[in-house]
Structure 1
Amino acid sequence: MAGVMSDLSFSARGPALCVPFGIGLLLASQPAKAAAVVGAASAAHTVQASVHSAVSTPGKAEKGTWSSTACLAMMGEDPFGARDYALDWLRHDGGRPARHCHALALIELGDEQTAAQELDDLSRKEPFTGPDSSASVRAVMATEAAEAWLSANQPANALSIIAYGLSIRPGDETLILAKARALLAQNDMKTVVSELTALVARNPAVSPAAYVMLATAERRLGALDKARAHIEEALSRTPDDAAALLERGIIREQTGDATGARVDWQRVLDLAPDGHEADLARQDLAVLAADPDSP
């Protein structure tokens, strides 16, 4: 079945928090890879960034003029420069904000595991000083750490920091959704269904990502009617979401609608041809094309 091919890579795929969750980025220029980890945290970052003075020339700041905003703004075009900026800021007593920006630069440079550990430590380890040590900001960093751990294919570490984040911000929906992603990566479909069913019952207006992950877990447990209803709910709100379209294609293929599956997967290719979902859609389309019984 074509859907089986997509599931082989599920632990690496899951919906990225920043896009389905619909929360704006801290900076429009923030790069895609780092944004996938930090997008869900941007509201707290905005508060965090406001306490630092801005610099007019990123990379040429003098002591006392460093800022998270300047550091993050460099990442899109010069992630190495952002990393060096953060390291220099650390040498000038930058503290937690400098460490935070350094971790995000490492994500953009592909060192997710080192970044995950740094973010994990920032979230849960003392000393906690200044505005960057508030419970809300540390919960943000817990979410970032979880996403970085998932990018490094370490869902157990992701679940550990998520549990800590929920201990300081119980009921935080962003952390609950991060937990669902980690549980999907561990193939714990029953817990995903239980927790996300409760979440959407409490808040039907929750992010469409919740419905996508719920549909995935239900589909993999064989509850295709429920999965179809939940993926349609997600797409009713975000019709051009690649992860949702990929999942609906799998559900359609598994319920005998090969034509509809092909349409969904082709739409994924049209929307985001360079994305991971597109790679999975291509695999599924190839499997479908090779099936002699496919219409």
Structure 2
Amino acid sequence: MLSAALIFALQVGPNPSAPALEPLPFELRRQQSQQEQAEVTPTADPLALCLIRAEEDPVAAQAEANIWLETTIGLTRAHGLHCRGYAEAQSGNWEAAAASFVAARSEPAVINSKYKARLGAIAANALITSGDAQGGLAMLDQAIPDAARSGFAALEAEMWLDRARAQVALGETEAAGVSLASARRLAPGSSQAWLLSATLARRSGDLETARSQIEQAAKLNLTNPEIALEAGVIAILAGDEDSARQNWQTVITLNPDSPAAATAQGYLEQLTTE
């Protein structure tokens, strides 16, 4: 049977000090095709090179972007602000990154709805990551319609996920559920959307919905250890210890050196038999 300490930990979640919905992968998330990237940023080559440089050497990329900003106007200036923000984010300076992304989005030359939506998305992500959930929500209110108008469904879905993150941070659980439903509607094949939905349902005490949603997440991504970890948490709270053990062992097998595996091992060690 479960120890009282483990039951409490599972009800709160794998990491009680972390947000209920984990941060999503930052910036482009590598989901756009090269064709889409070119469409979103018509003069993307210098920007793409600067973003790559920011990942390799954020300090050098930020210095380069600042020089760029001194000599350019219009859309090119927006690209410079975009790159500077990404370099600042790579350095962990999320408040500065958010300010740069907001400034880039505010450039009058940024009229392409897809690019405007993208800048709004990364600005909101930076704001939320910096701890300004309310500011992130306000930015998403502006950026989501841009994505919808341009038919950028994949990015719109990710913004609804970020919206749920911010709402959970603000204690707006019911509103977060609505946001996650929008994300699932726009991207029914997103295992992340189903995983976060299951996590929220479980934390809200709706284990039946949580179990259905985590099963859907697992169907979409059989090798994600985070999904197996959550499936085990849901199973044990539903009284299915065998399924919980199986899922947590799967986490360890899939990626033995990951934080998820360490959490799963801790859960297994706390399980006792009658």
Relative contact order higher in (CA < 8 Å, ≥ 6 apart)? 1
Aligned to 2:16: 8
Q: Following the alignment from structure 1 to structure 2, what is the Cα–Cα distance between the partners of residues 257 and 149?
A: 39
Given the alignment, which residue of 92, 101, 104 partners 2:86? 104
Is 2:245 the partner of 1:224? no
Given the alignment, which residue of 134, 138, 160 partners 2:116? 138
* 1:184/1:40 CA distance change after superposition, 3 Å: farther
**TM-score, with structure 2 as normaliser:** 0.79
Equivalent residues in 2 for 1:31-70, closer than 5 Å: 36-39=26-29, 42=32, 45-52=37-44, 54=45, 67-70=46-49
Equivalent residues in 2 for 1:196-211, closer than 5 Å: 196-197=180-181, 200=184, 202=185, 205-211=188-194
The residue identity in structure 1 corresponding to 2:218 is L
**TM-score, with structure 1 as normaliser:** 0.74
Aligned residues: 255
**Segments ≥4 residues shifted beyond 6 Å:** none
Query: Would the aligned equivalents of 1:253 and 1:260 in 2 still touch at CA under 8 Å?
Result: yes
Structure 1 residues 29-48: Cα deviation after superposition (integer angstroms, max 9, x where no partner): xxxxxxx2331774554334
Aligned to 1:160: 138
Q: Following the alignment from structure 2 to structure 1, what is the Cα–Cα distance between the partners of residues 208 and 20?
A: 26
* 1:283/1:41 CA distance change after superposition, 3 Å: closer
- Structure 1: any 5+ residue segments left out of the alignment? 19-35, 55-66
Q: Following the alignment from structure 2 to structure 1, what is the Cα–Cα distance between the partners of residues 172 and 261?
A: 23
Query: Would the aligned equivalents of 1:183 and 1:189 in 2 still touch at CA under 8 Å?
Result: yes
Q: Following the alignment from structure 1 to structure 2, what is the Cα–Cα distance between the partners of residues 262 and 10?
A: 24
Is 2:95 the partner of 1:113? yes
Structure 1 residues 177-216: Cα deviation after superposition (integer angstroms, max 9, x where no partner): 221222233332222223433554x457342222112111
Counting helix residues as a fraction of each chain, which structure ranks higher? 2
Aligned to 1:174: 158
Aligned to 2:63: 84
Query: How far off its partner does 1:286 sit?
Result: 2.6
Q: Following the alignment from structure 2 to structure 1, what is the Cα–Cα distance between the partners of residues 48 and 21?
A: 29
* 1:195/1:96 CA distance change after superposition, 3 Å: closer
